[in-house]
């Protein structure tokens, strides 16, 4: 089991929305976190249409686990009969009780979260279900991602705001995202910050700006360009 000496430092807005005091940023959209996840990360990566046996999602920023759960719901709804592979990189993990409290805002997600929360609360960072194989790698992504041996078919880039947590959006880290993406793989993120889009383009992605969720005018998504 991987350990971390860092943990999430939280305030709770309206008693339900977790806000990182370290980065002064909420963990999910105030306008509807599950709907945002589906718009940004699922639709942005053209999922579930690309699902297939062996499909692998990777993520920067595990947070509440909401993105994982939304992907698993979509996987099941698509009738997939194999395991979804999922890898997430998280520097400041929530406790199981904190995740449970946050997910209670989304009854659809909470209804399927129980087995995941049970394993997480027991200290497991490899979550195994009949249709899910997930690993949450603890530590700063700039140190852990370069050592990862996998390659993702789709990336969920869900760190805190680039203005408040620029380390998780640096050109060096985006280059690692590109290097750990399978041919034809994709990314999606809620941010359309210019330096993030440029870093992802420099990492080999064909980057597009597209309509964001709710009050956010734009988000970004991209496809890894063919390598020579």
Backbone phi, then psi, for 59, in 5-degree steps?
-145, 140
Give this prediction's pTM: 0.92
Q: How many CB atoms lie within 10 A of CB 35?
A: 15
Q: pLDDT value at position 3? A: 41
User: What is the CATH number assigned to the segment(s) 10-224?
Assistant: 3.40.50.150
Weakest mean pLDDT among 4-8, 166-170, 191-195:
4-8
Size (the chain), residues = 228
Mean pLDDT value of segment 86-90: 98
What percent of the chain clears pLDDT 90, i.e. is strictly above it?
A: 79
Q: pLDDT value at position 8? A: 78
Pairing of strands 205-211, 218-224: antiparallel
Q: How far apart are CA 174 and CA 165, in angstroms?
A: 14
Sheet with 126-129, side-by-side order of all strands: 126-129, 132-138, 84-90, 56-60, 152-157, 181-189, 218-224, 205-211
* C-alpha pair distances (Å), 191 with each of 88, 106, 169: 18, 23, 10
User: pLDDT tens, 100-153?
Assistant: 999 998 999 999 999 999 999 999 999 999 999 999 999 999 999 999 999 999
Q: Which residues are CB-neighbours of 147 under 8 A, at least 6 positions away?
A: none
Q: How far apart are CA 84 and CA 53, in angstroms?
A: 8
Closest CA to 87 of 50, 49, 61, 113: 61
């Amino acid at each position: 089991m991987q350990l971390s000496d860092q943990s999430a430092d939280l305030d709770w807005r309206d008693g339900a929305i977790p806000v990182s005091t370290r980065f002064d940023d909420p963990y999910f959209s105030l306008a509807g976190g599950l709907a945002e996840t589906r718009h940004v990360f699922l639709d942005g990566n053209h999922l579930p249409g690309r699902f297939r046996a062996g499909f692998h999602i990777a993520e920067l920023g595990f947070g509440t686990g909401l993105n994982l759960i939304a992907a698993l719901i979509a996987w099941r709804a698509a009738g997939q009969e194999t395991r979804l592979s999922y890898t997430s990189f998280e520097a400041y993990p929530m406790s199981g009780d904190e995740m449970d409290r946050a997910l209670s805002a989304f009854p659809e997600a909470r209804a399927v979260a129980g087995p995941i929360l049970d394993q997480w609360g027991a200290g497991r960072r490899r979550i195994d279900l009949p249709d899910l194989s997930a690993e949450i790698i603890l530590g700063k992504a700039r140190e852990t991602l370069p050592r990862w041996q996998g390659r993702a078919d789709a990336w969920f880039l869900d760190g805190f705001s680039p203005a408040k947590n620029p380390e998780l959006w640096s050109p060096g880290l985006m280059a690692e995202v590109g290097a750990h993406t399978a041919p034809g793989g994709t990314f999606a993120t809620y941010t359309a910050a210019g330096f993030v889009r440029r870093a992802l383009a420099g990492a080999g992605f064909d980057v597009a700006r597209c309509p964001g969720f709710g009050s956010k005018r734009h988000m970004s998504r991209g496809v890894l360009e063919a390598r020579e």
